[in-house]
Amino acid sequence: MTDQLSTTLTALADPTRRAILARLGQGEATVMELAAPFDLKLPTVSKHLKVLQRAGLITQGRRAQWRPCRLEAAPLKEVSDWVDGYRHQWEERMDRLEGYLRELQSDPGVSRSKQDG
């Protein structure tokens, strides 16, 4: 049994599936409309849609002819909440880099002595 977050991340770990989500972020679309910009065969698109559907990232309407797909953003909130727990880690790192750059600018000797050494 796979946990929801792992299922979501697996579904997102493909550039075509992320592009499909980006398209659906602009509004509902049929499978044909989703397939067009990717130059993919319909069965390939259908496979990607199934992975997204199993992860709860999209739903598909029930009307047989159109069955438009729509984005469901709730699983993305879980990803956001998870990654947010690490925000201080990369912010701290950028602060350190910034501090080092400032040091370089105010005292060019820092970089020169590094290059010389």
Which residues of this chain interact with its own copies, rule CB under 8 A?
Answer: 3, 5-7, 9-10, 12-15, 18, 21-22, 25, 71, 73-74, 76-77, 79-80, 82-87, 89-90, 93
CB 37, min distance to its own copies, A: 18
Residue type, 115: Q
CB 28, min distance to its own copies, A: 13
- Is 96 or 112 the residue whose CB approaches its own copies more closely? 96
Residue 107, phi then psi, degrees to nearest 5: -140, 85
CB atoms within 10 A of CB 11: 22
Does residue 56 come out as left (phi exceeding 0), alpha (psi in the -120 to 50 range) or beta? Answer: left
CB 65, min distance to its own copies, A: 26
Structure tokens at 82: 């998870």
